[in-house]
Chain A
Amino acid sequence: MKKTVVKYLYIFAFIIVLGMPWLFWIIMGTQVDSENYENRSKAEMPMLDINNLQQYPVEFENYFNDNLPFRNQLITLNSKINYYIFHKSSNESVILGKDGWLFYNDVEDGDPMADYLGENLFTEKQLQQIAENMVAAEEYLADKGCEFVLFIAPNKSRVYSEMMPDYYGEPSEEYAVLQIVEYLKENTDIRVVYPYEDLWEAGKQLEDVILYHKVDTHWNKAGGYVGSVALLRELGITIPNIWDEEIEITETDNLSGDLANNISLQKDLIDNEEDYSIEGYGEHDFVTESSEFNGALSYRCVDAEPRKLFVYRDSFCTAMAGVLASQFNESYMMHYKNFHNFQLEEQKPDIFVLEIVERNVERLLKFDIEKE
């Protein structure tokens, strides 16, 4: 092809790629995916103010960046190239494991890799502080006639360490949560449930059932069930283990996951996901009274445990909620972001469970049930 013609192609490329995307967006924008997958509000158009001249360009660029034409498609294209060609995550917070497994790696959100590598061990002083906070909570609740249990849901990377990339090595044998569990056991009467061994056993007994979502940070219903069994056992309630004959495990529809979302492959990796419905443990036909994602999950049932359950929870409780709820006549599970001390007065629970995922245990250093 003559060089002259090719030169026109460059001009054409300039017009099409840089000059015309907005026009194409106006024409076709409504027909392509422009959903917000980022779990944040998009930046808004800033107001120009003589007093914010320094900030205006930054805010405008944020707005511009959040509203680029074909933004989702370009981001997904970049992610696909990284994932399928280079087996590389396009987001620092996501580690690509083996066989389609994704793991979380956000230093700002609990730093689960530091947990895995044992790089964030607590000092003696910090362990003491945690113990004091837990004992204070226990005593506060005991004054109200309420039991207290600390429940720590293991990080996915610990339970499925064999799916982590080899270059991370084996998980450290000394790690922060183990420090807490052992310290509390040796120095206090605090009841702690850390169902790592239960999950390990379940994985051995049921090789075909996975307990955590592959492309999400959370455990699935099967993992949540195992955690629930361990917690209920501590509370004096027995339900079958997940591998027991009476338990029916049915595969359910696939959902995508938060980690797949972080690398903008939520649609591509949807088939990697596994979830289940678990039946046969004595569900007591519980009724859902409220179900707010970051708020209260509350339930009622009949002929179950009369003690009222209150769970100070995070999102890992979601997979446990139904199982726990089915064993108590009344249960109320409030997300820690919306927990207020007065709710204890309102709900008057008999059991208070502080449920927290392993990567966030550092929050226990500042936990004060009276001021939460």
Chain B
Amino acid sequence: MVFSSAIFLWAFLPLVFIINYFLKNKYSNIFLLLVSLFFYAWGEPYLVMLMMVSIFINWAIGKGIAQYKKYKKGILAAGILVDLAILGYFKYADFFVNIINSIVGKDIFIEPGVKLPIGISFFTFQAISYIVDVYRGETEVQDRLVNVALYISFFPQLIAGPIVKYKDINKQLDCRTITGDKIAEGFRRFIYGLSKKVLISNILGASADAVFNRNIDTISGTMAWIAALLYAFQIYYDFSGYSDMAIGLGKMFGFDFLENFNYPYLSKSVHEFWRRWHISLSTWFKEYVYIPLGGNRKGITCTYFNLSVVFFLTGLWHGASFNFVLWGLFHGFFSIVERVGIGKVLEKSKLLSYVYMFLVINFGWVLFRIEDLREALRFIKRMIVPWKYMNLEIPVWQYIDYRTIFTFVCAVLGMGILQKVIPEDKKEKWRFSIMEFLFCAVCLILCIASVASDTYNPFIYFKF
């Protein structure tokens, strides 16, 4: 079930909200857990059992760590191993088998053909976060299975994050209030997220796909640049829109989640980018991989190695495919290069920083978008030397239209430019003003019209 679907907007959300609102606190957690499991089962009717097993194991591991302090290291290790084994099998089994067969030169293993459960990367990382925080003493162990289960499976952040750390939410699991303010703030945030997804990301994505789906031999330099730029904003508004919806929904149920995006396209370095993009993921890797490896405390070589590992894993986390790994390492490379010396150069010139980041981000997203490495490199080549591919030009209106252009302009302005240019007092005045409400109301209606429109599937002749 996706947030931008009719069934979520007009059935699941209103029903769940109304029932939960009238429930006493002590029943709310059970109710929200049940609806979250239902939400997950809607997309994974069988693999919901896997998530339930994972929840139970991690809850038990947490209790074991707290109870058997002498063996807590071993218990933690076992817990992490189980979590990574589940993730590794369901997400990466086919990938690893392919790699082994490629290295050996023949199919010594058969691809298991495992179905990837939705959201497994998110709920596994949340589970690991819980048991590690219990081990480190950063949070009390939770005896109540319901609370741990709700933390891991809560529907607003289950499918697409943000990755919530248990210590950031544990108190809210025990005690929270749903006030009118929170409902209003939450719904307002939800509208912004839904609009980002439906009115910006989906529209830009349609035009980007029109180019990316073409044979690479028919893509000119101009087309490559246009598609790359459209995709850069498609993915930003898609992901940050989803995070906004998750944060908004959380608020409507009394939870405060941490921010996951902070205008990443305003970044002046890759280092800064990763403090603004998918913040919950980069924070997770920092706390649970980078720092345990030693961070930057064991010398320059170790630091570069640790960064490489983190960015390798970041790429791999996004998908079981070499292009994601390459994208991660691409960012890792520039992160290291900035530390080596380029960072200091970038600090001296804002313009240079923005041009640098513009190129790194856009080339990086091409690696992320195109699975075939050779094709990705050919695509990037068209971006670097576009004049060599002008003869492939097809009229731009075959893949762009006025709506895409208008949406793109809005996307660029909304990426942080408006937020930077408009003074703080004006921003505060806008917030919860009647003008903003009218703006949100219009956006909401446009979103709903668009969602309804997606259900329209006419034929020229009657289909029996």
Judged by DSSP, the binding face of A is: helix
Given A17-B445, A39-B463, A104-B460, the answer on whether A68 and B452 have CB atoms closer than 8 Å is yes
A22 at interface (Cβ–Cβ under 8 A)? Answer: yes
| Binary contact track A71-91/B, C-beta < 8 Å → 1, others 0 | 100110111011001111011
Q: Are B448 and A8 in contact (CB under 8 A)?
A: no
Judged by DSSP, the binding face of B is: helix
| Binary contact track A82-117/B, C-beta < 8 Å → 1, others 0 | 100111101101000000000010100100000000
Q: Are A78 and B18 in contact (CB under 8 A)?
A: no
Given A17-B448, A74-B449, A74-B453, the answer on whether A38 and B395 have CB atoms closer than 8 Å is no
Instruction: Please list the residues of chain A having a beta carbon within 8 angstroms of any beta carbon in chain B.
Output: 1, 3, 6-11, 13-14, 17-19, 21-22, 37-41, 53-54, 56-57, 60-61, 64-66, 68-71, 74-75, 77-79, 81-82, 85-88, 90-91, 93, 104, 106, 109, 165-169, 217, 258-259, 261-262, 264, 294, 315
Q: Are A88 and B401 in contact (CB under 8 A)?
A: yes
Q: Are A75 and B184 in contact (CB under 8 A)?
A: no
In the complex, which residues of chain A have a beta carbon less than 8 angstroms from the beta carbon of B397?
165-167
B432 at interface (Cβ–Cβ under 8 A)? Answer: yes
Given A77-B449, A88-B401, the answer on whether A6 and B460 have CB atoms closer than 8 Å is no
Q: Are B456 and A167 in contact (CB under 8 A)?
A: no
Q: Are A90 and B462 in contact (CB under 8 A)?
A: no
| Binary contact track B182-204/A, C-beta < 8 Å → 1, others 0 | 01110110000000000000000
In the complex, which residues of chain B have a beta carbon less than 8 angstroms from the beta carbon of A60?
7
Chain A residue at minimal CB-CB distance from B460? A258
Q: Are B10 and A21 in contact (CB under 8 A)?
A: yes
Of B9, B187, B458, which contacts A38 at CB under 8 A? B458
In the complex, which residues of chain A have a beta carbon less than 8 angstroms from the beta carbon of B455?
65-66, 68, 71, 75
Question: Complex formed: what's the CA distance from A75 to B451 in Å?
Answer: 9
CB proximity of B158 to chain A, nearest CB, Å: 16
Q: Are B402 and A87 in contact (CB under 8 A)?
A: yes
Q: Are B187 and A13 in contact (CB under 8 A)?
A: yes
| Binary contact track B437-452/A, C-beta < 8 Å → 1, others 0 | 1001100111011101
Question: Complex formed: what's the CA distance from A168 to B398 in Å?
Answer: 7
Chain A residue at minimal CB-CB distance from B458? A38
Question: Complex formed: what's the CA distance from A64 to B6 in Å?
Answer: 8
21 contacts between A and B (CB under 8 A): A7-B181, A7-B184, A9-B437, A10-B187, A11-B184, A11-B187, A13-B437, A14-B183, A19-B17, A40-B458, A61-B5, A61-B6, A66-B455, A69-B10, A75-B455, A78-B449, A79-B453, A109-B460, A167-B397, A167-B398, A315-B461
Q: Which residue among A68, A91, A166 has the maximum number of chain B CB atoms within 10 Å of its CB?
A: A68
CB proximity of A90 to chain B, nearest CB, Å: 6
Chain A residue at minimal CB-CB distance from B449? A78
Given A17-B445, A17-B448, A88-B402, the answer on whether A10 and B458 have CB atoms closer than 8 Å is no
Question: Complex formed: what's the CA distance from A120 to B10 in Å?
Answer: 44
Chain B residue at minimal CB-CB distance from A314? B461
In the complex, which residues of chain B have a beta carbon less than 8 angstroms from the beta carbon of A167?
395-398
Q: Which residue among A19, A106, A217 has the maximum number of chain B CB atoms within 10 Å of its CB?
A: A19
In the complex, which residues of chain A have a beta carbon less than 8 angstroms from the beta carbon of B414?
none
B318 at interface (Cβ–Cβ under 8 A)? Answer: no
Q: Which residue among B396, B453, B457 has the maximum number of chain A CB atoms within 10 Å of its CB?
A: B453
A-B contact count (CB 8 A): 155
Question: Complex formed: what's the CA distance from A165 to B441 in Å?
Answer: 35
Given A6-B432, A169-B395, A258-B460, the answer on whether A86 and B453 have CB atoms closer than 8 Å is no
Q: Are B402 and A86 in contact (CB under 8 A)?
A: yes
Question: Complex formed: what's the CA distance from A77 to B463 in Å?
Answer: 25
B43 at interface (Cβ–Cβ under 8 A)? Answer: yes
B105 at interface (Cβ–Cβ under 8 A)? Answer: no
Q: Are B45 and A54 in contact (CB under 8 A)?
A: yes
Chain B residue at minimal CB-CB distance from A20? B14
Question: Complex formed: what's the CA distance from A7 to B13 in Å?
Answer: 19
Q: Are B452 and A56 in contact (CB under 8 A)?
A: no
What 3 A-B pairs are tightest by C-beta distance, nearest first? A167-B395, A7-B184, A74-B452
Q: Are B396 and A22 in contact (CB under 8 A)?
A: no
Question: Complex formed: what's the CA distance from A106 to B460 in Å?
Answer: 10
Q: Are A10 and B437 in contact (CB under 8 A)?
A: yes
In the complex, which residues of chain B have a beta carbon less than 8 angstroms from the beta carbon of A78?
446, 449-450, 452-453
Question: Complex formed: what's the CA distance from A9 to B7 in Å?
Answer: 24
Question: Complex formed: what's the CA distance from A262 to B445 in Å?
Answer: 22
Q: Are A71 and B452 in contact (CB under 8 A)?
A: yes
Question: Complex formed: what's the CA distance from A106 to B459 in Å?
Answer: 10
B101-139 with Cβ < 8 A to chain A: none
| Binary contact track B221-236/A, C-beta < 8 Å → 1, others 0 | 0000000000000000
